[in-house]
Structure 1
Amino acid sequence: MHKPRQDRALKHIALIVIALIWPTLLLLTMFVIGLNGWLRDCPMWLEPAGALALSLLLCATAVIVMGLLRNIRNNQQISWRIDGLPRLEQATAAQLHSALPGLKAVGLRVWVCDAPLAFTTGRRSPVIVLSNWLLENLDHEELIATVAHELAHIQGRDSLLLFWLHSLCPHGWWLRPLRHQLQQLNLLLEKRADSTSIALTGQPMALASALVKAGRHLTVPPVAPMLSLTGNSNTTLLRQRVSLLLNGHEAGGGADWSLGLLLAGFLSVTLLLTAYAQAKPCLGWQCDLPTATSRHSTAPHFPSITQ
């Protein structure tokens, strides 16, 4: 990947990450402020409208925490399953290590399935998993290019990035614009891995050939738990990647105006909420409103009269 194009891709990825975590950070900030007000017996958060808003923020926070715990559990289960897979045969592994020195600290496992599947998993001890279909149908150069693509995901810490994004932005909050940006991020990460693979091997045609072979054999393969060679069977993404590898430019590429509109919308909402908070003394860390009601309030206490 040329330096200007690489810089543009990196900036694009950074902007998408900001757009995906922005609403979550906004929700968490509002929840912390609301919880602080409720604990300080602020009347605004004790009234029905304020209590309802705080309840909704609590539900959103619970979704984030539960999503994070679920992803941690799923990753652990995947690691246990990967540990039980057979290792790549020593002769093939030696050839791959000779062609790609960066594989020294990476495990190589074989997934027995009749599908063109290759993916990477693990953070502290990364592992590249290859299906036996790939080992049987790709030639030597194509296999090296495929493994280099997965090695690029490891070097870019792409799996870790997606882990946190899917935890902090679960299912894109079920909003089409955010789900679209998640798809765009996957596309950019796959293209960046393709470019790194070319830099490592100097064989763009080998990777393109591997993608074409994989695309022709796509039926309904098992869903890869991580970033995969075929982009989880996304044929549109495959065509774009092959076009970029063969022609050096994207077919139908253009500016992503939806991302700019999304960021502008989040910025506007944040500014409006900030202005509203400044106008309401109770939305800060100190509540200046008189305590009319309290969640701890009891019957009035009268001092005892002693004779």
Structure 2
Amino acid sequence: MNSTTALVFAVLALLLAGPVPAVFSRATWPYRAPRAALVLWQAIAIAAVLSAFSSGLAIGGLLLVPGPDGRPTTAPTDEIEALGLPLWILYVVVLAITLSIGAKLVFSFVQVFVRTRRRRARHRVLVDLLDRSSDSGRPFPGVRNADIRVLDAVEPIAYCLPGLRQRVVLSEGVLTNLNRSEITAILSHERSHLRSRHDLVLEAFTAVNEAFPRIVRSRSALGSVQLLVELLADDSAVKVTGPTPLARALVTCAGSTAPRGALAAGGPSTLIRVRRLGGARTDIRISIAAYLAAAIILVLPTIFVAMPWLDELGRLLGSS
């Protein structure tokens, strides 16, 4: 490996962490291919992480200068003698930054995982205590499943709590203001989130967003992925009830809120989603192009990462 390789990976990591998500988030074609767009977002995130690590490790590889016997050395004194003190310090600092980003990434994943599940567990206990779905004095047509909880609130509220003990939470306002087909649409939407484990996708993007330095990261990726998982859940509900009941239910629940860690049916993206329900459906050509782009973004950096390190390994084994 050489400094050019490290520079290329550094530039690629910066582009994939900032400008590329900013541009991608303004595109409208993902509305016609949300699943493929979500895969492309995941490929961009993984490639950004790989490129960041590759840049730092490429610099770290430059520290393995040939020693007196021709074999790569890890002795600092030999490295300083071969590289010069200023360059050696620069390489060590870059390697340390890379390792710190890796440690922060692992820490962010653990932190997001633990924090989110604690919030969900506390809220799950709360909705179980406040549940009125079994109230004999208030019939709730079509709401009989064990995972559904009904809250005594007049505002239309609908959201789900993912996890091993899943919950779909509705308010009395939803049951009062929606008809049977609209309630079915909302339930289908929320259960699509639970079935597809969209929460894990959002947790991963949250962790990556928190791991990258604030100056280079972009929140566009997280916001776009949040919208895409809602579009996917909408598509699942449309297959059950059609677009009209879902659109009416989304408008009714547009102002609903949900605790952090839950997935709400309404929210700020409601207008975009309702407009999409009356527009074009999934475009297979766009999907294919997005899947190909995702494969290229993942495969090419991986190849360019693996080949230099295989060369280094071969050189090390050949010198032994």
Name the TM tier (shorter chain): 0.5 to 0.7
Q: 1:96 aligns with which of 143, 147, 153?
A: 143
Which position in structure 2 is the counterpart of 1:11? 36
Q: 1:27 aligns with which of 32, 52, 62?
A: 52
Distance 1:168 1:16 in 2: 12
Distance 2:155 2:211 in 1: 26
RMSD: 4.4
Alignment partner of 1:160: what SS?
A: helix
**Identity over aligned residues, as a percent?**
19
- For residues 282 and 242 of structure 1, do their structure 2 counterparts lie closer, same or farther at Cα, with a shift above 3 Å needed? closer
Q: 1:146 aligns with which of 186, 190, 212?
A: 186
2:217 corresponds to 1:170: no
Distance 1:154 1:146 in 2: 13
Query: In the TM superposition, what is the alpha-carbon distance from 1:205 to its structure 2 partner?
Result: 1.8
Aligned ranges 1:95-244 → 2 under 5 Å = 95-97=142-144, 107-110=147-150, 115-170=155-210, 174=214, 178-200=218-240, 202-215=241-254, 217=255, 221=257, 223-230=259-266, 233-234=267-268, 237-244=269-276
Mark the runs of 5 or more structure 1 residues left unpaired by the alignment.
98-103, 289-307
Which position in structure 2 is the counterpart of 1:83? 125
Alignment partner of 1:95: what SS?
A: coil
Mark the runs of 5 or more structure 2 residues left unpaired by the alignment.
1-29, 65-72
**Does structure 2 conserve the Cα–Cα contact (< 8 Å) formed by 1:111 and 1:131?**
yes
Distance 2:310 2:235 in 1: 52
The letter of the residue matching 1:50 is Y
Which position in structure 2 is the counterpart of 1:73? 114
Distance 1:173 1:111 in 2: 40
The letter of the residue matching 2:193 is H
- Of stretches 48-57 and 158-167 in structure 1, the one that deviates more from structure 2 is 158-167
Query: In the TM superposition, what is the alpha-carbon distance from 1:265 to its structure 2 partner?
Result: 11
Distance 2:50 2:209 in 1: 10
Alignment partner of 1:159: what SS?
A: helix
Per the normalisation by structure 2, the TM-score is 0.63
Distance 1:131 1:35 in 2: 56
For residues 240-267 of structure 1, the C-alpha deviation after alignment (integer angstroms, 9 at most, x for no partner) is: 211222x2338xxxx89xx99x979978
Per the normalisation by structure 1, the TM-score is 0.65
For residues 90-131 of structure 1, the C-alpha deviation after alignment (integer angstroms, 9 at most, x for no partner) is: 37677235xxxxxx6x62234566654322223333222224
Which position in structure 2 is the counterpart of 1:293? none
**Does structure 2 conserve the Cα–Cα contact (< 8 Å) formed by 1:96 and 1:144?**
no
**Does structure 2 conserve the Cα–Cα contact (< 8 Å) formed by 1:71 and 1:163?**
yes
- For residues 177 and 27 of structure 1, do their structure 2 counterparts lie closer, same or farther at Cα, with a shift above 3 Å needed? closer
- For residues 176 and 203 of structure 1, do their structure 2 counterparts lie closer, same or farther at Cα, with a shift above 3 Å needed? farther
**Does structure 2 conserve the Cα–Cα contact (< 8 Å) formed by 1:88 and 1:108?**
no
The letter of the residue matching 2:142 is Q
How many residues are matched?
258
